[in-house]
Amino acid sequence: MNKPLEKLGYSFIRENIKAVTFDIDGVIVPTGTFLRENIDGTELTIKTYKLSAEMVSMLKELKKYVWINFSSGRALLYLQNMLGDILWDRVTLTAENGNFILMNGKVEQIAEYDQKYFQKITDIRQDLKRLKEEKPDSVYGFEPKHVIITIHTAKKMSEIEEIVKKHDKKRELYCLWTSEGYDIGHMKTNKRTALLYLTGKLEIKPEQMITTGNNLNDKEMLGFGIGVSVDPEQVSGEYAIPKKKGELGGEILAKYLLEAFVTQRTE
């Protein structure tokens, strides 16, 4: 595990890789989302980073050789706005930790849930709203999502984990710290779920896809196909790019893949 990227040979890439999945935050854009929501939920401000001009250029070139998929816990519409510079040909968006995929102009909800699940999520959200009222300096607000909850906080909060446990008697839900807050959703669905769907649609094998990630919610995705961790201290992959201040592992990977496809250098 966590072998240097240089061990992934150029000829292997050219002969085998058909698709690449890029995680978003901390991989192709810096981590750091500003989110503030007022108490009654009628005002919401979200600010995040955008792709660098260099990364946009590399992605436009790279998708001539491989299918490009973006995987995130963010909502589908937000991803569409965030990544608009490189859509649409040979690109898919997978959102809300594997629950939705936008491919060839069609949105698919990959996992189905019953009314009991949505009631459970609603009850948890109501308790989290009360926690926000009690601790507005620690609980910033909710990202708009369809089937999962993402709540932004100043730090890890045991109160949030206890609220989830209170409503989740059957232990069906995950409650993952993302470094900016918590993702809460059903354990039957994760980022790997969308990759299984996508490889089926593309008619390729998992080992023909490179995946990336930097956090615990990327664990299952990095175990799918050829995983490249860009923060091996947080989560492991078959290969790893050491985390360095001022550098983005996704940009390093994109450049490396282009060298394999474009320059045709020998190893």
Q: What is the pLDDT of residues 23-82, one digit of tens each?
A: 998 999 998 889 999 988 889 999 888 999 999 999 999 999 999 999 999 999 999 999
**pLDDT score, position 234:** 87
Residue partners of 35: CB distance under 8 A and separation at least 6: 44, 45, 46, 47, 140, 141, 143, 152, 180, 181
According to the CATH classification, is domain 115-186 in 3.30.70?
Answer: yes
- Indicate the pLDDT class of residue 130, thresholds 50, 70 and 90: very high
Report the percentage of the chain scoring pLDDT > 70.
99
**pLDDT score, position 41:** 84
Average pLDDT over the chain reads 93
Residue of 18 and 267 predicted with greater confidence: 18
When pLDDT is averaged across residues 168-183 and rounded to a whole number, the result is: 94
User: Please, are residues 237 and 250 in contact by the beta-carbon 8 Å criterion?
Assistant: no
The fold of 3-32+55-110+190-262 is Rossmann fold (3.40.50)
Q: What are phi and psi of 19, to 5 degrees?
A: -150, 155
**pLDDT score, position 156:** 96
Residues 11 and 17: their CA atoms lie apart, in Å, by 10
Residue partners of 26: CB distance under 8 A and separation at least 6: 179, 214, 215, 230, 231
**pLDDT score, position 179:** 86
**pLDDT score, position 264:** 60
- Residue ranges of the domains in the chain? 3-32+55-110+190-262, 115-186
User: Please, are residues 98 and 49 in contact by the beta-carbon 8 Å criterion?
Assistant: no
